[in-house]
Amino acid sequence: MMSTAIQMKSFAILKQACLVLAIVQFSEATCSTVKFTCMQYAERLTARQIRVGLFKAILHQDISFFDENKTGQLMSRITHDSDSISNSLPGYIETFTTNFINLCGSAPIMFYYSWQLSVSTFITFPVTLILTKYYGLFVEKLSEKENDATAVSNETVEESFSSLFSDLMKTIGSSRKVIHLLNRQPLLDYEFGTETPEIIGNIIFEDVEFAYPTRKNANVLQGISLSIEPGKTVALVGPSGNGKSTLVSLIEQFYAPQSGRVLLDGTPVQNIDHQYYHQKIALVAQEPTLFSGTIRENILYGIENGTDEDMMRVSEMANVHEFVSKMEKGYDTKCGEKGVQMSGGQKQRIAIARALIRNPSVLILDEATSALDAESESLVQEALNRCALERTVVVIAHRLSTVKNADRIAVIEKGNVSEMGTHDELMANSEGLYYKLVSKQLEPKKKEEERKISPAEFF
C-alpha cells in the first residue's frame, strides 16, 4: 500500500496506509500486554493451586509421616518445586501455542512452493521429536539448497522442542516429587469415622501394643490395659521413655496401635468423626504453640463462633485475665512469633484458655508446668485445678505437686501399668516405683532444709 501511494502520488492512500500501520502497531502492543498479563496470572494461579493442594495434602497426613520427613524437605516441595512447575508450564503453553500457529501458517506456503519437499520435511518431524526427547540434541540443519519454506518449518520444530528439553526435565523432576506427595495416602483414614456419640470422657486401653514407625522393632507399649473413669483426674507418671506421652498420642489419634483398642465411652476412637472427636478433646503441651497474632486471636483460634464473652470466661478460669488486664492493649496485645513476647507462664495460661474455650470433655496436660518457675507454676496449677472440674483430665508430670492430688495415679513402667492408686496408697508401698520416684524427688529438699537448721536448734 505504501509503494502504491508513492507511485500514484496519492496522499489519501498514504494516509490510509499510515493509519493501518498505526492500528497494527497498537494492536500488537495491546496483544503483547494482554499476553504478558495472562501469562503472569496463569503462573501465579498455578503456583497457588499447587501450594494449596500440597498444604492440604500435608495437613491430612498422619503424625508418622512427619516422623519420616524433614520439615525442610516439605517446605521445599511447597516453595521451590511448586515455583519450578508454575514458572515453566505457562511458558511451555505459550511456546507450543505460538509455534503451532506459525507451523499452521507456514505449511500452506511450503506446499505452495514445493509439495514434494514439504512432504519430505514433515516425514522428518517424528524423528526430530524422538531425537529431541531422548538425546536433547538439535536437529541438524538441512541443506542450504532447501527453500525458504523448509527452513522456516525446521526452525519452528527445533525451537518448539529442543530449546525446552532441559527445562522440561527439571519440571518433570519437580512434578514427580509434588505428585508423589499429593497422592500419598495417610496411614490413618481420618474420613473413616462417622459416629458422633455423646462423650463424657471414659477412656479405655485394651491390650494395646505400639511401636513408632521409625523404630518398628522396638515396642513402646507392651499390651497395656488402662481404664480412666469419666470426670476423674488421672496422672501418668514413670521414668522417661516408658510410654506416657505415647498413650497421649494414641488418645489424640496421632498414631494407631499395632494391636489392641483405644475406646472413648465404649466407641473405638477411629470410628468417631475426626472433627467432632477433636472438638471434645484438648491438649496442653509442655511448650505450647502460640501464633504471631493477638492474645484474642490465639485464644479464639479455630473457633468459628467464639464470642468475647466466651473468651473472658475461659480467660478468668485460666488466670489469663489477671495479667492481660495490666497490658496497655489488653487482649489485642501481639504475642510475637511463637509467643516470644509472652513469658513461659503466660504462654501456658493462654494455651489453657484456648483449650477450655472448646469446652472439651477430655483435657490432656502433657508436662504443662515442668518448665515453669515456682510462681508461674502456682498460677498455672491453680488454673488447672479450676479447669479439672466436671471433665476427665489426663496429666503427665514428674513434679509431685502436680500429681499428688489426682484421683488416680498410674505408674507406667516398660510400656505397661506397674502400679495404680491414690498418692497415699502408692506411698504405702515402699518397694514400689512410685515411692522411689517421690523419695528421690524429695531427697534434695530434705538436704536443703537440714542445711538451713542451725546447730543451736539441736540443744
pLDDT tens digits, the chain, 459 residues: what are they?
Answer: 545 545 555 556 666 767 777 887 888 788 888 877 887 787 788 788 888 888 888 777 777 777 777 766 777 777 767 777 777 666 667 777 777 777 777 777 777 777 777 677 667 667 666 666 555 544 444 444 443 444 344 445 445 545 555 565 666 666 676 677 777 776 666 666 788 888 888 999 999 999 888 788 888 888 899 999 988 889 898 888 888 888 988 988 888 888 899 999 888 988 888 888 888 888 888 778 888 888 888 888 877 777 888 888 888 888 888 888 888 888 888 888 878 888 888 888 888 888 888 888 898 888 776 656 666 667 667 767 776 667 888 988 777 777 888 889 999 888 888 889 988 888 888 888 888 888 887 765 555 544 444 444 422
Task: Give the pLDDT score at 204.
Answer: 92
Task: Give the pLDDT score at 1.
Answer: 52
Task: Give the pLDDT score at 454.
Answer: 43
Judgement on whether residues 231 and 317 belong to the same structural domain of the protein: yes
Domain of 219, in residue numbers? 203-451
How would DSSP label each residue in 83-108? HHHHHHHHHHHHHHHHHHHHHHHHHH
Considering the domain boundaries, does residue 197 fall inside one?
no
Considering the domain boundaries, does residue 337 fall inside one?
yes
Judgement on whether residues 391 and 281 belong to the same structural domain of the protein: yes
Here the CATH number for the domain that contains residue 320 is: 3.40.50.300
Which of 131, 148, 183 is at the close of a domain?
A: 183
Tell me the C-alpha distance between 128 and 248, whole Å: 62
Residue type, position 176, single letter: R
Judgement on whether residues 234 and 330 belong to the same structural domain of the protein: yes
Domain count, the chain: 2
Tell me the C-alpha distance between 367 and 349, whole Å: 13
Q: Taking the mean position of all CA atoms in its chain, how far away is CA 186?
A: 13
Judgement on whether residues 128 and 238 belong to the same structural domain of the protein: no
Task: Give the pLDDT score at 154.
Answer: 42
Tell me the C-alpha distance between 123 and 120, whole Å: 5
Task: Give the pLDDT score at 172.
Answer: 64
Considering the domain boundaries, does residue 383 fall inside one?
yes
Judgement on whether residues 61 and 142 belong to the same structural domain of the protein: yes
Task: Give the pLDDT score at 14.
Answer: 61
Judgement on whether residues 142 and 262 belong to the same structural domain of the protein: no
pTM of the model: 0.62
Judgement on whether residues 127 and 245 belong to the same structural domain of the protein: no
Residue 155: CB partners within 8 Å, gap ≥ 6? none
Judgement on whether residues 256 and 222 belong to the same structural domain of the protein: yes
Judgement on whether residues 265 and 410 belong to the same structural domain of the protein: yes
Task: Give the pLDDT score at 458.
Answer: 29
